[in-house]
Structure 1
Amino acid sequence: MKKRLFVATMVSLPSEEISFIKREIISLGIEGKWVEENNLHFTYRFLGDVSVLFIPQIEREFKEKISLIEKRKVELKGIGVFPDVKTARVLWVGVEGDLTDIKSAVDELLEPFGFEKERRVFKPHVTLMRIKKLRHRTKFSYFLSKMREKKFLSMEVKQVSLIESVLTSKGPLYKPLKVVDLR
């Protein structure tokens, strides 16, 4: 048996900020699936399907390595898209702050379980929406440029979680398997 896992920090964006973004996006005729407010997070590593036999060992290593890392402040700032405005599929809020030691610790603790270090550049972000239909690219591009420096929230990263993602017809359900406090 396997569980679909990822490592992340959960985020609570102010409801008024989310409402503002939703109003703007809807006014631009953009359609898609919004991430539920209680599921907002930034991901350090997506593991995919992991055998339940490895999970207790991963949890032990996770607690041991992550608990040594210090808390830090980050800022949720700016709105962007992946991969680009022309073919936007994901709408996100950026995460600014130094999270490289957390990312490195996660990658290192997973290596003995067969997870190679990721080669792509780590760009922490909070996914807000999976875009299905994009209209008015010029207006959307202008909106993104206006929002590039918008500050949404300053927060302290206090915890990192190993989370199970259970896919349902209504969207994913996230179940924290191990939540580790930073020191």
Structure 2
Amino acid sequence: MADKYRLFIAIELEQVLKGKLEKIQNILRDCSLKVKWVDKNNFHITLKFLGEVSQGELSDINEKILEVTEKVSSFKVQIKGLGAFPNLDYPKVIWTGIEEGQEELISLHKYLEEVMINLGFKAENNKYRPHITLGRTSRKEKNFSLISKRLKEFPFKIDFYQEVKKISLIKSRLTSKGPIYTSLAEFKL
């Protein structure tokens, strides 16, 4: 299926911030839990997952994203704290959260959700919760106590900022070594 892309809309992170998040991963790595850590080049804040999309749909998608970004101004996000889905006692997805800028991200997600539904994309099932995924525990993992304890006792405060000036349409190619992301288009706020 060469004419199909697996796409999502996201905020790409600055290299300095990616480096700081990688340091957090390195501190968390010393627990014995099997975690598949996100490659530092793949850190981002997802706004809307689109799934499989044909090349023919790209121009309509780009047009709708541009329509949304023309309504939104740049803003600052504060990356703060650690968490997990579904919770810290059962950490399947390990993430760092967004404090300042959360309302703006939720609004941006809502706008994108609306315009993409109008193009025929499915609505999200879960409530949108802005975050940056750091890693995912193995499906076979049964003992979460070590990583849970590590997350709850994390040794330093996470408090980083980034100015959000654009969003990106990103292609995700799944490989045996993990996903490879390629930015197809950028849209200034």
1:162 pairs with 2:169:
yes
**Residue 74 and residue 53 in structure 1: after superposition, are their counterparts in 2 closer, same or farther (change >3 A)?**
same
Supply the distance in 2 between the matched residues of 1:170 and 1:138 (Cα, whole angstroms). 27
**Residue 80 and residue 148 in structure 1: after superposition, are their counterparts in 2 closer, same or farther (change >3 A)?**
farther
**Residue 35 and residue 179 in structure 1: after superposition, are their counterparts in 2 closer, same or farther (change >3 A)?**
same
Supply the distance in 2 between the matched residues of 1:157 and 1:178 (Cα, whole angstroms). 16
| Correspondent of 2:73 among 66, 70, 75 | 70
Tell me the C-alpha RMSD between the 2 structures. Answer: 2.3
1:48 pairs with 2:51:
yes
Q: How many residues align?
A: 181
Instruction: Report runs of 4+ in structure 1 exceeding 4 Å deviation.
Output: 133-136
CA contact (8 A) 1:80 1:91 kept: yes
CA contact (8 A) 2:89 2:145 kept: no
CA contact (8 A) 1:9 1:161 kept: yes
Aligned to 2:11: 9
Seq. identity, %: 35
| Correspondent of 1:122 among 128, 134, 151 | 128
CA contact (8 A) 2:90 2:148 kept: no
Supply the distance in 2 between the matched residues of 1:135 and 1:23 (Cα, whole angstroms). 22
Segments of 5+ residues of structure 1 without an aligned counterpart are none
**Residue 83 and residue 104 in structure 1: after superposition, are their counterparts in 2 closer, same or farther (change >3 A)?**
same
- 1:122-141 correspondence runs (5 A): 122-132=128-138, 137-141=144-148
Instruction: Tell me the TM-score normalized by structure 2.
Output: 0.84
Worse-superposed segment, 84-93 or 64-73 = 84-93
Amino acid aligned to 2:39: E
Supply the distance in 2 between the matched residues of 1:146 and 1:26 (Cα, whole angstroms). 14
Segments of 5+ residues of structure 2 without an aligned counterpart are none
**Residue 149 and residue 82 in structure 1: after superposition, are their counterparts in 2 closer, same or farther (change >3 A)?**
farther
CA contact (8 A) 1:71 1:158 kept: yes
Supply the distance in 2 between the matched residues of 1:139 and 1:3 (Cα, whole angstroms). 38
What SS class does the counterpart of residue 78 from structure 2 fall into? strand
Supply the distance in 2 between the matched residues of 1:94 and 1:135 (Cα, whole angstroms). 25
Shift of 1:135: 7.9
Amino acid aligned to 1:2: K
